Structure 1
């Protein structure tokens, strides 16, 4: 069971390995700190590095006459080490007996002072609590029985217990955060790619399958999603081909009906039949165009969106139709220019047919680009703002079917926008008029 756990790449295995790696990294950082910072507790005096300096100073002062030793001790003092000579040990007012230091443990002491020299050491903890004299102190007895004391005024090595605990906690947090960040990225990247591919499939039904990667649970989810995606693509492909074939096959009987209508003697009925045939032909042509767009998608490219909109406006001005424009003079966008042009033209045609004073507003946000086509027409009933996107749906009131159209324009426009990861919505203005809002993903 343990072997299977270690062999399979699962979420539980990754979490366990993350915890172990964080603990090992914490220990490693602490070990590195100890090596770099040296002795980081309150070490014994033998490990402070003072005894080498003490041995050399004691040998020099010991060789001088007793009358000169106080002056020599004062001269040997420095900001890092205070040297004091007294004839009697009691004159130093020590807290008690210090720990005996064996000269043989320090080669320099053994070389300069010999093996039998009496040396005592005091640590800061040997002094009464709160004593201003709580320092490291080394006492060396000279050959004539007098004593030298060596005291560093301020300890420049090691750390207090509180600081030491803080360092340990800090290094542990750093190690944990570092390992957790790396592990989270390794775990989150497949999830992010999975989510991005799922969103891409929502806008592009022909998106490729997702690469299978990550822990076992994520891999199983990706496999299930790929299977579902393939089934949806197969279903949509069959539906599209079937409907396109039906629309195509209807052309032949409609053509025969048109020919036969030419031989009708009743001209009134003939004209009515011809209008019905032409309307059906228009619907079939629109349906074929709609299905053809679903099978042949335009490749994204970089283009100037503002220039594209201004070109559309110029085309309408050539037809004596004025359209106001508000937006930046230039805006480079990566998308499908022909598709966006068809969407805007469709919205403008609706505004020109059913309303008046069409207008285009181009706005750039932090995460999206928005194109608004507005008019001053009668608008659309609130309960029909979504229904107008249904294929072959046409309003009978303010949007009269006699003006043309078979109800596929808005359906096709929304499909084109959603292909590019955007959305097309309709809303009524506070005053008279309708606003068609095209939201495209930002650059």
Structure 2
């Protein structure tokens, strides 16, 4: 199916809008992830610094308990010796240097900072809340009951120390419905005791649902834009459709009506130019056809008078020569009249079975003693001027019988075209002469009677119907005439 220019423009706009929206969503997703990641890193470093400052206030034997009390399902803290770096941990020296500089400016006694990150497949399930009596706030106060997350503070969560194969941290991870989890560690070394406060944080990228929601909303917006553009394009393209329709009519030799000047200024200029061209072409063709008809009509009268005077000419030999030449002139005049009628496009477009029409032509020539046969074919319905197409078929069958001794005809369909093939067993035509024979009064042999207008008339009629005619030399000899005619003509 061939799309109109308006439909192509609409699809192009839809594709561009969707491409822009997809790029926008991807860029927004990347920016969102970067923003969230930077915010999490900043909060992680800040939490580690604040927890480190708070732990220094407590006695040394309570610091480990203090760190455990600040843990939750997403954060785990330890105070004591540093745990070794796992194989999957990736150190971030850039963040380490920045964090150490920040801690130094904040007055914290930190001599070294270690920052690592690694992937983890799934986070542990979130647990509930329970009451627990804790003495860590009992600095001169009685113990109080605290609400804490339910997990064993004395055991380290699995995601802290155990490595598992995780999805790669590539671009596609950003677009997964369940992005991979990452374990980040910030470890601060006390410059006096050498103990470490290690803060593990379990991070997950923001859910992708919001990204898909943006994409759906942008797609709906693109569809709405496409509908509006379709309505606008139909209004803009209407003059071009009318122009194409009338140009097709003019190309087939029909009378093309003057188009209404409408649309944008550039479109109006195109329509005005077409109207001027249509008027000039019509006037020129009408003048040429009228001139041919007048010339043929004016010659027939004097020619008839000469033919009447031939009877008084003696001797008989001279009389016969004059009659022969006069008959040739009469034949040429009749051919000119036929050519003018063909150019005038006699008759209206009608739907006809091309196979049946060819069968009529074949039977007519067979009845005149010609060797001609037709291959059985399914009905092929075309819109054409019946008299004109019948004249084309008759010319080609007659040429095949005249120059090739016999004619074989067949009809078929190829897509939206009807194809008529008429072949003979003659000597064929030189390759460089195949197009020249369509010129008016052009003949390759003088030994066979003819005017040289038959193929010219055939090509004129086929072009006027939006079709074509070609001559081909057969692979084993002979000549093939191939006619292609559209199945449906424009009304």
Fold shared, TM-score > 0.5 on shorter chain? yes
- The residue that corresponds to 1:60 in the other structure is none
CA shift in 2, pair 1:314/1:258, >3 Å: closer
Measured after TM superposition, the shift of residue 223 of structure 1 is 1.6
Aligned mates of 1:171, 1:329 — CA distance in 2: 49
Aligned mates of 2:359, 2:345 — CA distance in 1: 26
Choose 409-418 or 346-355, whichever is displaced more.
409-418
User: Which among 258, 262, 265 is matched to residue 216 of structure 1?
Assistant: 265
Q: Does the aligned pair in 2 maintain the 1:365–1:442 contact within 8 Å?
A: no
Measured after TM superposition, the shift of residue 86 of structure 1 is 7.1
Q: How does 1:389-428 map to 2 (within 5 A)?
A: 389-396=438-445, 400=446, 402-428=447-473
User: Which among 74, 91, 99 is matched to residue 147 of structure 2?
Assistant: 91
Choose 433-442 or 317-326, whichever is displaced more.
317-326
CA shift in 2, pair 1:92/1:229, >3 Å: same
Measured after TM superposition, the shift of residue 276 of structure 1 is 1.0
Aligned mates of 1:332, 1:442 — CA distance in 2: 7
Q: Deviations over 1:192-245 (max 9, x none)?
A: 442343233222253333444433212220121111111111011112112211
Q: Deviations over 1:324-359 (max 9, x none)?
A: 323523222222222211111110111111112311
Measured after TM superposition, the shift of residue 93 of structure 1 is 4.8
Aligned mates of 1:321, 1:289 — CA distance in 2: 23
Aligned mates of 1:279, 1:329 — CA distance in 2: 41
Q: Deviations over 1:271-309 (max 9, x none)?
A: 111111111111112212221333352111122222222
Q: How does 1:350-361 map to 2 (within 5 A)?
A: 350-361=399-410
User: Which among 264, 269, 276 is matched to residue 318 of structure 2?
Assistant: 269
The answer to whether structure 1 residue 332 and structure 2 residue 381 are counterparts is yes
CA shift in 2, pair 1:198/1:438, >3 Å: same
Aligned mates of 1:163, 1:406 — CA distance in 2: 76
User: Which among 355, 375, 380 is matched to residue 424 of structure 2?
Assistant: 375
- The residue that corresponds to 1:235 in the other structure is 284
Aligned mates of 1:321, 1:250 — CA distance in 2: 33
- Structure 2: gaps (5+ residues): 1-5, 22-126, 133-143, 151-180, 184-206
- Structure 1: gaps (5+ residues): 1-10, 27-81, 95-128, 132-157
Aligned mates of 1:219, 1:303 — CA distance in 2: 39
Measured after TM superposition, the shift of residue 92 of structure 1 is 5.1
Aligned mates of 1:191, 1:287 — CA distance in 2: 38
Aligned mates of 1:223, 1:312 — CA distance in 2: 44
Q: How does 1:15-414 map to 2 (within 5 A)?
A: 90-91=146-147, 93=149, 160-295=209-344, 297-396=346-445, 400=446, 402-414=447-459
What is the alpha-carbon root mean square deviation over aligned residues?
Answer: 3.4
Aligned mates of 2:211, 2:410 — CA distance in 1: 64
- The residue that corresponds to 2:480 in the other structure is 435
The structure whose Rg is larger is 2
- The residue that corresponds to 1:98 in the other structure is none
Aligned mates of 1:196, 1:90 — CA distance in 2: 86
Measured after TM superposition, the shift of residue 266 of structure 1 is 2.9
SS in 1 for 2:396: helix
Q: Does the aligned pair in 2 maintain the 1:307–1:329 contact within 8 Å?
A: no
SS in 2 for 1:403: coil
More strand by share: 2
Q: Does the aligned pair in 1 maintain the 2:254–2:345 contact within 8 Å?
A: no
CA shift in 2, pair 1:425/1:213, >3 Å: farther
How many residues were matched structurally? 306
Measured after TM superposition, the shift of residue 90 of structure 1 is 3.5
Choose 347-356 or 309-318, whichever is displaced more.
309-318
SS in 2 for 1:376: coil
Aligned mates of 1:281, 1:89 — CA distance in 2: 128
Aligned mates of 2:261, 2:210 — CA distance in 1: 51
Aligned mates of 1:130, 1:91 — CA distance in 2: 27
CA shift in 2, pair 1:243/1:327, >3 Å: same
CA shift in 2, pair 1:436/1:248, >3 Å: same
Measured after TM superposition, the shift of residue 161 of structure 1 is 3.9
Aligned mates of 1:419, 1:332 — CA distance in 2: 18
